[in-house]
């Protein structure tokens, strides 16, 4: 079978040729472009989704269009990529985030599917009720029971409603603040984002490096504003409330006042919900 015959067997290319009334001579004149298009289309045959994409640029494929000037080459999104882009439209509402692309696809409405744990279902129900409440949730429990995953679903829920959202892995955030101590502009912008976002989720609070500086200069000023402005705020932690109190109380003397004030603001901003169970990891 000749190259021209193989090219014409490709349904998309054959439709392109028919629509523009192009014959074999056109294919021969543009054989390189046509063969290239055929090879890219071949990679998409039988594709089951973006996870299986074989294109050099994930979710995009080489395509040709016909104009008065001849062939025009471009790269366009496939249907799977267009669907993902639609599902990720809410990402623009995140102001500061440690969530991954996969995290943005977490749908709060589906998080009970296949779940039989009574403890998880009870915690889920309390979290869902909090969506319309004035206060957020302090979701605590052992590692791996689904606390962060659940609140990533909460973050997406609010972002899809057009709310500005921050999802902060507290240990990572504190390390970034330390590394950026001399970058006043970054720090001021970061503080403003976390103070004024409609919804902020502080993930894994209590696991961060605790010092008088982080308590007095970083954490307290943000939580203080959020409490005064009644901004929706959530927390996850491996520490149950008495354990978090003990951990903060153990900080250096210069930070104890701030530590106590931080605990007061966490309590003012959130209701404690305990999520027990076996690890889902």
pLDDT digits (tens, 9 = 90+) for 7-16: 888 999 999 8
User: Quick one: three-class SS letters along 246-271?
Assistant: HHHHCCCHHHHHHHHHHHHHHHHHEE
User: Which has the minimum average pLDDT: 46-60, 149-163, 245-259?
Assistant: 245-259
Average pLDDT over residues 80-88: 86
Average pLDDT over residues 37-55: 90
The alpha carbons of the chain give a radius of gyration, in whole angstroms, of: 26
**Is residue 60 over pLDDT 70?**
yes
**Is residue 253 over pLDDT 80?**
no
pLDDT of residue 226: 97
**Is residue 107 over pLDDT 90?**
yes
Report the mean per-residue pLDDT for the chain. Answer: 91
Average pLDDT over residues 221-243: 96
pLDDT of residue 279: 66
pLDDT of residue 227: 97
CB 123 within 8 A of CB 275: yes
């Amino acid at each position: 079978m000749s190259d021209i015959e193989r090219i014409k067997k490709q349904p998309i290319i054959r439709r392109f040729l028919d629509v523009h009334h192009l014959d074999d001579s056109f294919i021969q004149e543009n054989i390189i472009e046509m063969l290239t298009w055929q090879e890219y289309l071949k990679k998409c045959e039988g594709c089951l989704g973006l996870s299986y994409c074989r294109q050099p640029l994930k979710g995009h494929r080489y395509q040709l269009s016909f104009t008065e000037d001849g062939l025009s080459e471009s790269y366009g999104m496939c249907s799977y990529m267009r669907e993902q882009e639609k599902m990720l439209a809410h990402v623009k509402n995140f102001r500061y985030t440690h969530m991954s692309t996969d995290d943005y696809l977490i749908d709060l409405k589906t998080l009970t599917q296949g779940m039989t744990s009574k403890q998880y279902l009870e915690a889920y129900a309390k979290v869902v009720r909090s969506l319309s409440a004035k206060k957020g949730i302090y979701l605590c429990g052992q590692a791996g029971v689904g606390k962060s995953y659940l609140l990533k679903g909460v973050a997406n829920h609010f972002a899809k409603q057009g709310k500005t959202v921050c999802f902060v892995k507290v240990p990572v955030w504190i390390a970034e603040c330390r590394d950026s101590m001399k970058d006043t502009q970054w720090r001021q912008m970061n503080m403003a984002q976390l103070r004024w976002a409609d919804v902020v989720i502080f993930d894994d609070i209590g696991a961060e490096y605790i010092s008088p500086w982080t308590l007095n200069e970083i954490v307290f000023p943000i939580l203080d504003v959020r409490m005064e402005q009644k901004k929706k705020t959530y927390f996850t932690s491996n520490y149950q409330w008495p354990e978090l109190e003990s951990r903060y109380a153990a900080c250096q003397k210069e930070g104890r006042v701030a530590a106590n004030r931080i605990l007061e603001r966490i309590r003012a901003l959130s209701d404690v919900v305990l999520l027990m169970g076996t690890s889902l990891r």
